[in-house]
Amino acid sequence: MRSLLLHVHEDDGMEARLQVGLDIARAFDAHITCLQPVSFDFAVPGDLYGTMIAEMLPVFQEAADKLRERTCARLAKEDVKSDWLQEEGPARVLLQRAEGLADLVILGTRDPASSGKGPSALTGYMAVHGRSPLLVVPETTASFDVAGAAVIGWNGSLEAAHATRGAVPLLRKASSVTLVNVTEHIEDPGAFLPAIDGAEYLSRHGIACEIVEIDRGQGTVARALVNSASARGAAYLVVGAYGHNRAIETVFGGVTRRLFADPPLPIFTAH
């Protein structure tokens, strides 16, 4: 895990994303690429000739430049390797283009396009369309303990397997790994992978894990997973990103949507 891609945006979660990126970069001697999309694709009601937009463009650019200056000054004092990309265009397009050689993409849980209200459609898009694993960071995260405990949410799906495989570099450094078995209906019987298969895969990478069956009870699967992670003092939760193209704007639907709506800890995910 030597190449990290960090989404830069002026929102309440920026400091959390940056700090997590720095913690992971130090642990893996990794390089951080800070991608700052600057989008001018918006409309002002009643501004038929674009006069107001033309006046606002320099203001948005100035704000973006100030964020870059502040963050670059911060990075210059840190013991990590980094570079900065400020590009004009939609965030989802630029991130998808830049993730081609990224081992991990660091995003926030809130939607930058809606002033942080609601789960991030950008994260949903990247998880479904992207090809690199994501680390989704809540805005309340103060640091990332690479050596902390890890919990894997397992339901036998290929998505869960892909997420587990992508998380191997992190899991190798974890103080403990718990594979929490959550069984749900899977439409394709051929995609079902027993929990023991996941544990055996991890053992081949030198990672010992405990398999735990949890009772969903009256709550949701998402709540059961969060409770399990909390009980074990987990530093992060590994889950598969479930969803289809039609559900992108609402962040996958189902378990993944509930997990991403307001997670108490970072979530490592892949589709």
Any idea what the CATH number is for the domain that residue 254 is in? 3.40.50.620
Domain boundary among 137, 170, 203: 137
The per-residue DSSP string of 152-174 comes to: EEE-S-HHHHHHHHHTHHHHHH-
Position 156 scores a pLDDT of 86
CA dihedral sign, ordered 196, 158, 173, 141? negative
143 within a domain of the structure (yes/no) = no
Residue 152 has pLDDT above 90, yes or no: yes
Residues 125, 10, single domain; the answer is yes
Q: Are residues 115 and 159 in the same domain?
A: no
Contact 169, 152 (CB under 8 A): no
Same domain, 16 and 41: yes
Answer whether 0.75 is exceeded by the pTM.
yes
Question: What's the mean pLDDT when you consider all of the chain?
Answer: 84
Choosing from 116, 137, 158, the residue where a domain stops is: 137
Structural domain count of the chain? 2
Q: Which domain holds residue 238?
A: 149-270
Structure confidence by residue, pLDDT tens digits, 202-246 = 999 999 999 998 876 666 778 888 889 999 999 999 998 865 443
Domain presence at residue 49: yes
In a shared domain, residues 182 and 247 = yes
Token pair recorded at residue 249: 């704007």
- Per the domain annotation, does 7 fall within a domain? yes
End position of a domain, from candidates 137, 159, 192: 137
pLDDT surpasses 70 at 160: yes
89 and 212 co-located in one domain: no
Structure-model confidence comparison of residues 97 and 53, the more confident one: 97
